[in-house]
Every structure is written in structure tokens, then in C-alpha cells.
Amino acid sequence: MRNSQKIKAVITGVGMYVPETILDNKYLESIVETNDEWIKTRTGISERRIHKSGPTSDMAAKSVLDLMKSTGLRAEEIDLIIVATVTPDMFFPATACLVQDAIGAKNAWGFDLSGACSGFLFALETGANFIETGNYKKVVVVGADKMSAIVDYTDRNTCILFGDAASAVLLEPGEDNKYGIHDSLLHIDGSGKESLYMKGGGSLNPATHETVDNKLHYIYQDGKAVFKVAVKGMADISVEIMKKNNLKSEDIAYLVPHQANLRIIDATAERMGLGKDKVMINIGKYGNTTAATIPLVMTEYYRSGKLKKGDNLILVAFGAGFTWGSIYLTWGID
Ligand code: COA
């Protein structure tokens, strides 16, 4: 709870990048045993985007350039770049360094943050804390993932779910205490590590011919197990942050959920007492883009005029780790 604080971090700009190449359910029907109807009814996904022409940093940089274009932010003004991703270009250097170089942010430092599908929320909270110290004026928080780089397109359990995208927000100190990030509840529980993970490539299973043959460099997910905990985790934390801040459903303009499965989103909204018109959804077009889903859907709603200054938002996510959490904020852009 940070209501009494003098400096509040406000989102003052947004940007996004989605690749042009579309992978629709019909195409997936041609490569694995699945069908459009099954995918749509079980997940809400019709198509996803695939970034063929470059790595995660390329999408991330393009989303920041879009943010700069729409806000007038100059590269040299940026103090800090935080990139939430589980698909960094390489182990090191950090994707943040590659983004910094690509956009020419010569006065910035930065780092990557690995929070899987909760990565953007963790990065937003981290960025907000830097602003609240008073030492930082312009913090860029990016959610970016090239999931197609770690998806096994022979595994129908996972290949239908994921897509590629990047989206960025600018955090600045607010002039008015009404707008900005009011509260957050964030959690990790590593006992869930084997329900959703990439087994190979790290220090546990460094890359060998054997790890590649055994497909350890792809996403493994126990979908049913994750579904159960995700439904409960997202709904519980959303209700908890509402109660903690004395919010009724009529006080909330939008729930901004991580886009993993429409059924998980619907269950969360129902527990919060929110109608469908109060839930931001774009999973049908992009699938699960991991760290990118939440800023991406906020950017689209803002740009289409549906998200307005003064709107109260509850952001919520659940992901590998397990990681989960919720952030309560008031939208501050005209
Ligand atoms: N097409 C057709 N059938 C499929 C399929 C596909 N793409 N994928 C799985 N199936 C089959 C299964 O093999 C199973 O068949 P069986 O009963 O003969 O074994 C049947 O459909 C039901 O599978 P199940 O896993 O129970 O489906 P589900 O309703 O749980 O949906 C997910 C699967 C993956 C969509 C769902 O579990 C899910 O969304 N999980 C959580 C995902 C998530 O949130 N992940 C990230 C958190 S960030």
C-alpha cells in the first residue's frame, strides 16, 4: 500500500509491436491433430503472430520506438529500461542492453526480469519503486516474448497457445496523487516449477545433442494442473486487492488479465462481479504472448478510445514458477 507516498508512478505513454505473420487455427490443423473449434472453445484463441525476422530484442526495441513516437520521448531522456521476458536473445548480455543500443538510449541503464506470464507486473512494480525513490524520472518497462522460439510445433498441447509480441510503457512521477500505481500484491511459489518450464539450456541441463534430441529446449506444460491453479490464483488475488483497497465492482473500469485462456479470464471476472464489457480481451488475435499480453491489451484499448483518464484498472496475471499477482492503478493519460 503506497497511498500516503508523495511521489506516485504513473503510466504516461504506451507502445506496441506485433509481427505481421499470422498463424491461424486452420494452419495448426495442418501440422498437428487439432481443430479450430476445439482451440476456440477451450482457449478463446483464433490466431497468433509469429516474428520471423528477428529476436525478442527486435520486437522490444520496436515497441519502445512506437512508445517514443507516440509520446515525443527522446532516447537520451530514458533513465532505466526493464525488459520482462523468458525468451531473451541470449543468456547474456541482457535484452535490456540490446534494446538500449538499438534505440540509442545512451543515458540509460537496465536489466531483464524473468517472471514468465507475471513478468510485466513484476517489472511494472519494480519500475514504479524506482520512480517512487525520486531518483528516476523516466523508466521504460517492456514486456516482450518470442514464444515461437521455444514452442514445439509438433506438440498440440502447447503450440496452439502461444504467440510473439512486445509492448512497452513509460513510467514517470505523477503530478497528481489521483493517477498512477496505488497498490500491488505479488507472489512466487517455486513448488510449481515442474508444471510449466523449459528443462534444457540452463545450468541444470546445458545444451547437448541429447538435450536437443529429447526436446528439452521447448516449453513443457501440464495444462490441466496449471489451469486449476491459475483459475484460483488469478481470481483470489483480484478479489484480495479489491477488498484491501475497498473497491466494489462498480469502482473498476476494467480488469486487465494476462491472456492465457479465455476460460481463466471469465472465471476471474465472475469472481470479481464484473460483466464482460469490463474485461480487456485480445487473446483471440494474439494468443498467449507471455510478458507482453497485459501492456499490449492496455495499449490497444487506450488507442481505440475505450480506456480513458481516470479509469481504475485491476491488472492480474499467473504464470510459470509459479508466479502471480495483481496491481491496482488509475489510468493517467488523456
Ligand atoms: N486439439 C485437440 N485436442 C487436444 C488438444 C488440441 N490442441 N490439446 C489437447 N487435446 C486433447 C487432450 O489430449 C485431451 O484428450 P484425452 O482426454 O483423450 O486425453 C483432451 O483434449 C482434453 O485435454 P485437457 O488438457 O483436459 O484440455 P483442457 O480443457 O485442460 O485444455 C489447455 C487444455 C492447455 C487449453 C488448458 O489446460 C489450459 O489453458 N491450461 C492452462 C494454460 C495456462 O494458463 N498456461 C500459462 C499460464 S501462463
Is any ligand 1 atom within 6 A of the Cβ of residue 319? Answer: yes
- Ligand 1 centroid–CA 223 distance in Å is 6
Q: Considering only CA atoms, which residue is closest to atom 13 of ligand 1? A: 157
Catalytic residue among 159, 258, 261, 282, which?
Answer: 258
Tell me the mean pLDDT in the region 196-218. Answer: 97
Q: pLDDT per residue over 266-303, tens digit each?
A: 999 999 999 999 999 999 999 999 999 999 999 999 99
Whether 258 is catalytic is yes
User: What pLDDT is stored for residue 175 in this prediction?
Assistant: 87
Task: Give the residue, by CA position, lying nearest to ligand 1 atom 7.
Answer: 156
Each residue of 156-206: pLDDT tens digit?
999 999 999 999 999 999 988 899 999 999 999 999 999 999 999 999 999
State pLDDT tens for residues 222-278: 999 999 999 999 999 999 999 999 999 999 999 999 999 999 999 999 999 999 999
Of 3-7, 71-75, 112-116, 169-173, minimum mean pLDDT range:
3-7
∠ CA 313-315-318, rounded to 5°: 165
What's the average model confidence in pLDDT over 30-47?
A: 98
> What's residue 5's pLDDT?
64
Question: Quick check: CB of 287 below 6 Å from ligand 1?
Answer: no
pLDDT at 82: 99
- How far apart (Å, rounded) are the C-alpha atoms in residues 150 and 177? 42
Question: Which atom of ligand 1 lies at the shortest distance from residue 258's CA?
Answer: 48
pTM above 0.95, yes or no: yes
pLDDT band at 6 (very low <50, low <70, confident <90, very high): confident
Does the beta carbon of 232 sit less than 6 angstroms from any atom of ligand 1? no
Arithmetic mean of pLDDT, 86-90: 98
Contact 232, 270 (CB under 8 A): no
Residue-level pLDDT at 44: 98
Nearest CA to 318 out of 261, 279, 271, 274 is that of: 261
Query: What pLDDT band is residue 4 in, cutting at 50, 70 and 90?
Result: low
Mean pLDDT, residues 291-317 taken together? 98
Q: What is the pLDDT of residue 116?
A: 98
Spell out the residues 6+ positions from residue 190 whose beta carbon is closer than 8 angstroms to its own. Answer: 321, 322
| Predicted local distance difference test score (pLDDT) of residue 176 | 86
CB-ligand 1 contact for 118 (6 Å cutoff): no
The response to whether residue 227 sits with its C-beta less than 6 Å from ligand 1 reads: yes
Supply angle C-alpha 141, 3, 265, rounded to 5. Answer: 55
Q: What is the per-residue pLDDT for 310?
A: 98
Q: According to CATH, where is 3.40.47.10 located in the chain?
A: 9-178, 181-330
Q: By C-alpha distance, which of 205, 206, 226, 218 is closest to 320?
A: 226
Q: Is the Cβ atom of 42 under 6 angstroms away from ligand 1?
A: yes
Backbone angles phi, psi at 111, to 5 degrees: -165, 165
- How far, in Å, from the CA of 161 to the mean position of ligand 1? 10
- 236, 272, 239, 255: which is closest to 313 by C-alpha? 255
288 annotated active-site: yes
Ligand 1 atom nearest 290 alpha carbon: 48
Is the CB of 316 within 6 Å of ligand 1? no
Res 3 pLDDT > 60: no
Q: How does pLDDT run across 105-149, given as a tens digit for each residue?
A: 999 999 999 999 999 999 999 999 999 999 999 999 999 999 999
Cell of 303: 488507442
Single out the catalytic residue among 25, 117, 182, 261.
117
* Ligand 1 center from residue 157 Cα (angstroms): 6
* Nearest-atom index, ligand 1, CA of 260: 44
Q: Is domain 181-330 given the CATH code 3.20.20.70 in the classification?
A: no
Given a cut of 80, whether residue 13 has pLDDT beyond it is yes
Q: How many angstroms is it from 308 CA to the middle of ligand 1? A: 36
Which homologous superfamily does the CATH classification assign to the domain defined by 9-178? Answer: Thiolase/Chalcone synthase (3.40.47.10)
**Distance, CA of 26 to CA of 35 (rounded, Å):** 7
Give the 3-state secondary structure of residue 196: strand
